Amino acid sequence: MRKLSEISSLDGKRVIIRCDLNVPLDGSTITDDGRIVASVPTIKYLVDQGAKVIVISHLGRPDGAPDAQYSLEPAAKRLGELLSQPVFFASDTIGSEARGAVKALDRGGVVVLENLRFNAGETSKDEAERREFAAKLADFGDLFVSDGFGVVHRKQASVYELAQLLPSVAGFLIEKELEVLTRLTSNPERPYAVVLGGSKVSDKLVVIDHLLPTVNKLLIGGGMVFTFLAAQGFKVGSSLLEVDQIETVRGYIARATELGVEIVLPTDIVVASKFGADAETSVTLASEIESSPFGASGLGLDIGPDSAARFAEEISQAKTVFWNGPMGVFEIDKFAGGTRAVAKALTELKGLGVVGGGDSAAAVRILGFEDSQFGHISTGGGASLEFLEGKKLPGLEVLNG
Ligand code: ADP
Ligand code: MG
């Protein structure tokens, strides 16, 4: 892989850096700046080397057109604070303001362009459209630094096509992420446990298929639980359920048994009367969710306290743990117990504990843990999972050779 450290002269060069500044926002307030903090070392290096730095990123999933709630302006402001220097924010990505801002850059200056995904070309399925958009971005720079680890599994204009249009290298964040994740794929210390949760159920079910041959235990929490419970014939009320995945999950359970992998499912569930901080709650057996006072309208929003204790115990017995996806709706405190227990167990692990995933990383910080308490907090959820599955990631492949 071509690396930034191998580039000898950056002085006065226009360097486009693809970061992942996709931070969670509450209005225009950043609730977890972890991804911006993680982007700083490479940007700072470029500044110190006298480069003219053009930062590009996406935020959220706008529909290929400007949408104020997904503006990168708050992220640009925070980046300026972390760098202790003015950072100019351009309110378009390839328009006249961006062009003007890039032109006006001095050595060591930094500009952040508006959300890449305000342009349909960024995520277009049509390669020609992506190329056209990437070419406009490429006009701004002499060198491309790819450092948005969270998006390297995506074949998108600013990740893949842009890297082909300019001399391109990996930044320090990507290097660091790969160093740690490689320790999970090549000969991890055993027992090796993977904890999966979150709400992107069908995305993550696919991962299980690939992980089964490599792990010793698989702990399942979050929204995925209910498809597993349904596969065992239990009713799950109004909880998140992917009916069309039930058969697939039955296949995974059978395969796990064949491979000697233990799938650990929660035995109790925090069931809520509705989705919200003012919901009533009741803890039920995982097999009897509809026997809660809320009947068939009850929603499972967290693993129960017994399951949280069991998961913590399983984690403490492992030597290598990868965790992706919150155990419950941690954003609401009464559904944060499972996530808190798993996070705490990881901080006490005698071995390598890696947290991956945007919401998982945000969760540990919001729940009051420090980054330094974990072996590694990856800035990429999907990207780290695909890496662990052994897939080739387009954004990394393109930097090879
Ligand atoms: P990550 O970003 O770490 O990969 P995901 O994006 O898959 O994780 O999922 C995070 C979201 O999952 C959180 O917003 C959380 O509220 C939600 N979640 C967790 N458990 C449940 C559940 N039982 N029902 C609905 N949503 C859930
Ligand atoms: Mg997420």
**With b meaning 16 or more CB within 10 Å and e meaning fewer, what string describes 82-95?**
ebeeebbbbebbbe
CA distances for 23 relative to 63, 73, 216, 356, 372, angstroms: 18, 12, 33, 14, 20
Predicted pLDDT at 167: 98
Predicted pLDDT at 54: 98
Tokens representing residue 259 in the block:
């491979």
Spatial distance between the Cα atoms of 121 and 131, rounded to a whole number of angstroms:
8
Predicted pLDDT at 56: 98
User: Of the given ranges (80-89, 203-212, 249-258), which has the lowest mean pLDDT?
Assistant: 203-212
Spatial distance between the Cα atoms of 351 and 192, rounded to a whole number of angstroms:
10
C-alpha 381 – ligand 2 centre gap (Å): 7
C-alpha 13 – ligand 2 centre gap (Å): 35
Predicted pLDDT at 358: 86
Tokens representing residue 346 in the block:
């990881």
C-alpha 224 – ligand 1 centre gap (Å): 9
Q: What is the pLDDT of residues 151-195, one digit of tens each?
A: 999 999 999 999 999 999 999 999 999 999 999 988 899 999 999
Counting from 1 in the atom list of ligand 1, the atom nearest the Cα of 239 is: 24
**Coil, strand or helix: which one is 268?**
strand
Determine whether the shortest distance from the Cβ of 332 to ligand 1 is under 6 A.
no
The residue type found at 95 is G
pLDDT-above-90 percentage for the chain: 94
Find the mean pLDDT for residues 310-323: 98
Are 72 and 92 within 8 A, CB to CB?
no
Q: What is the pTM of this model?
A: 0.88
Cβ atoms within 10 Å, residue 201? 21
Least distant ligand from the CA of 300: 1
Active site residue 35: yes
Spatial distance between the Cα atoms of 44 and 98, rounded to a whole number of angstroms:
21
Write the CB contacts of 260 (distance below 8 Å, at least 6 apart in sequence).
none
Q: What is the pLDDT of residues 72-81, one digit of tens each?
A: 999 999 999 9
Predicted pLDDT at 223: 97
User: DSSP string covering 297-330, please?
Assistant: G-EEEEE-HHHHHHHHHHHHT-SEEEEES-SS-T
Spatial distance between the Cα atoms of 307 and 133, rounded to a whole number of angstroms:
48
| Residue of 14, 200, 204, 310 with catalytic role | 200
Active site residue 382: yes
Determine whether the shortest distance from the Cβ of 301 to ligand 1 is under 6 A.
yes
Write the CB contacts of 236 (distance below 8 Å, at least 6 apart in sequence).
226, 229, 230, 289, 290, 300
- The vertex-164 CA angle with 161 and 167, nearest 5°, equals 135
| Residue of 197, 222, 382, 395 with catalytic role | 382
Predicted pLDDT at 361: 92
Q: What is the pLDDT of residues 343-397, one digit of tens each?
A: 999 999 999 999 998 899 999 999 999 999 999 999 998 899 999 888 999 999 9
Is the predicted pLDDT of residue 401 greater than 80, yes or no?
Answer: no
C-alpha 198 – ligand 2 centre gap (Å): 7
Averaged pLDDT score across all residues of the chain = 96
Residues in the chain: 401
Cβ atoms within 10 Å, residue 49? 19
Are 211 and 262 within 8 A, CB to CB?
no
51 alpha-carbon distance from chain centroid: 29
User: Of the given ranges (99-108, 120-129, 196-205, 314-323), which has the lowest mean pLDDT?
Assistant: 196-205
Determine whether the shortest distance from the Cβ of 32 to ligand 1 is under 6 A.
no
Q: For residue 261, give the DSSP letter.
A: P
**Coil, strand or helix: which one is 113?**
strand
Radius of gyration of the chain (CA): 22
Q: What is the pLDDT of residues 227-273, one digit of tens each?
A: 999 999 999 999 999 999 999 999 999 999 999 999 999 999 999 99
The residue type found at 250 is R
Spatial distance between the Cα atoms of 350 and 41, rounded to a whole number of angstroms:
28
The residue type found at 206 is V
Predicted pLDDT at 207: 87
Predicted pLDDT at 200: 87
Closest listed residue to residue 72, CA positions, set 122, 109, 28 = 28
